[in-house]
Structure 1
Amino acid sequence: MPKPITPLTVTAAELLGPAMMRVSFAGDLAAFEGYDDTDRYVKLLFTPDGSPDLTRMADGERPAVRSYTVLDLDVVAGTFAIDFALHGSGFAMRWAREVRAGAEISVQGPGSGYTPDPTADWYLLVGDDAALPAVRQSLAALPPDAQGYAVVQVGREAERLPLPAPRGVEVHWLHRDDDSPSLADAVRALAWREGRVDVFVHGEAQTVMQEIRPYLAAQGVDCRAASISGYWKRGLVDEEFRAWKRELAAAEAG
């Protein structure tokens, strides 16, 4: 059954750093009741040429969707925020750079699927800029005595944002623009801990699905029960990326 579509109004847009824009929204969020997972997300709806004005679409034309994590959800107040990583040239990022209070857009959702398991022995949270909001929310939801790692990759040191974590969770920052190891190499270099690990690994699909996931499987992680998925793929727009994901799933199923 299709997720509901909710019209929203932009209430503020704030640059958090050189490569992250936070846009705040308001609307009737009744459809969001009960969505408490730390990776809850919505799909922003655009015309195929990147406008949020869906009345411009021709009959039979389908909207282009861009998925983003929902932050600071308050269903009663009817507010939430989205952090947009400002890398690349996609039209959702261009929209976020230019949007002002009063602008309108519709979203479909929400969806979700992950909340940290409080009974796990330790946690492994891994992501790039696109996954940073979900990693931040997951860290905030961990038990105070949690143990484990958070590994996050951004473009450069200036793009780091506050990432509070329990004392027992080591936070490792990586930068694409310097001599930091790759995200996959950094994960492989971590000391593997004893006990049952709760895994959240999201980001660039090639890195996540074809480099990090096989390594985790070799460590005994049941990847079907873990939260491991690509949010985007280098060189592909969203529509091409979703086709790539379908082809990958079909190949793995076969």
Structure 2
Amino acid sequence: MTIQRSVRPVRPQVVLEVLASERLSRHMMRLTFGGSGFVNFQDKAVSDRYVKILFAKPELGLVPPYDLDALREQLAPEDFPVRRTYTLRHVDLDAQTVQIDFVIHGDQGLAGPWAQNAKIGDQICFASPGGLYTPNPEFDRHLLIGDETALPAISAAVEDMTSEMVGDIYLEVSGPEDEVRLDVPVGITVHWLHRGGYFTPENTKLEEAVRNAEWHEGTLQVFAHGERETMKSLRAYLNGERGVDRRAMSLSAYWAYGRAEDEFQAEKKSPIGQIFPEPLNA
């Protein structure tokens, strides 16, 4: 007997060009992308739409879209294109454009410096978005938590909120110059937290602010993303101490303090990289 195995369809790579750039704050840059490659873009109707951008070393002269299977055979591991995950801040299907907000910290990282130096016509390559979270009006309250890396996703989520929604948003940034305008429903309160510099385990205020906040009765939907150890602590508080249903939580790490991006990604399936100590269906 032949067993038929389901195969996930391969989503085509989307190759777009930089159309415009805009400095949103001291540490945030927005790029608008478009072009003929938008025909391969397959939208997903959620707030937290994210894509995995492929970055190839410029000196290799690789032209997207990339034949990844062939490149695995041709290139040394250190020369293989690397992936970086970013939220789609806005999608305009009529104009056939997408916008991505990049956190900029000087020469740190890969995507940030690329975005800061991007010129009109530069290309970007990614597969169509994934994601699951959208604010659900069936919940009594909403709690959104994050640092700079979660700001684009939270900003997109705010735009999908209904006017009747109530809750709180906690956003931690370096200082007042990193705040951005959020047009929230009247029942949503935004709390800006200022570290006074780059993130360290000593100066972060996010967990403390959430723990010290007034707790409300009723069902709660949570969106919390940011630094790994902070997310672990928030998971322990919200799910472990307060009993928030894990199925009502979109909670994960976008990065880890003291870890390079590749090291952080490699640790995701190890105990140190897991936010929840057990699988959802355990």
TM-score (norm: length of structure 2)? 0.82
What is the distance in 2 between the residues matched to 1:80 and 1:51? 27
Corresponding residue number in structure 2 for 1:6: 14
Deviations 1:133-153 (A, max 9, x none): 111111121110211100001
SS of corresponding position for 1:36: coil
Pairing 1:112-127 to 2, within 5 Å after superposition: 112-127=131-146
Is it true that 1:100 corresponds to 2:119 in the alignment?
yes
> What do you get for the CA RMSD once the two structures are aligned?
2.4
User: Which of 63, 78, 84 pairs up with 1:66?
Assistant: 84
CA contact (8 A) 2:228 2:275 kept: no
Cα 1:137–1:18, aligned 2, differ >3 Å: closer, same or farther?
same
What is the distance in 1 between the residues matched to 2:88 and 2:118? 18
Instruction: From the CA coordinates, give the structure whose radius of gyration is larger.
Output: 2
Cα 1:74–1:52, aligned 2, differ >3 Å: closer, same or farther?
farther
SS of corresponding position for 2:98: strand
SS of corresponding position for 1:29: helix
CA contact (8 A) 2:174 2:196 kept: yes
Q: CA deviation at 1:203?
A: 0.7
**Partner amino acid, structure 2, of 1:41:** Y
Sequence identity, in percent? 37
Number of matched pairs: 252
SS of corresponding position for 1:8: strand
What is the distance in 1 between the residues matched to 2:31 and 2:122? 11
TM-score (norm: length of structure 1)? 0.90
Is it true that 1:213 corresponds to 2:232 in the alignment?
no
Is it true that 1:144 corresponds to 2:163 in the alignment?
yes
Corresponding residue number in structure 1 for 2:251: 228
CA contact (8 A) 1:129 1:152 kept: yes
Corresponding residue number in structure 1 for 2:3: none
Deviations 1:189-220 (A, max 9, x none): 11111110011000111101x21110001101
Is it true that 1:85 corresponds to 2:103 in the alignment?
yes
Q: Comparing 21-30 with 122-131, which one deviates more in the overlay? A: 21-30
What is the distance in 1 between the residues matched to 2:276 and 2:150? 25
CA contact (8 A) 1:120 1:197 kept: yes
Question: Which blocks of at least 5 consecutive residues in structure 1 are unaligned?
Answer: none
CA contact (8 A) 1:33 1:75 kept: no
Is it true that 1:189 corresponds to 2:212 in the alignment?
yes
What is the distance in 1 between the residues matched to 2:59 and 2:90? 26
Pairing 1:123-138 to 2, within 5 Å after superposition: 123-138=142-157
**Partner amino acid, structure 1, of 2:85:** S
Cα 1:3–1:234, aligned 2, differ >3 Å: closer, same or farther?
farther
Q: CA deviation at 1:53?
A: 5.3
SS of corresponding position for 1:214: helix
Q: Comparing 160-169 with 216-225, which one deviates more in the overlay? A: 216-225
Q: CA deviation at 1:115?
A: 0.5
Pairing 1:20-59 to 2, within 5 Å after superposition: 20-27=28-35, 28-47=37-56, 49=57, 54-55=62-63, 59=74
Q: CA deviation at 1:64?
A: 0.3
What is the distance in 2 between the residues matched to 1:51 and 1:37? 37
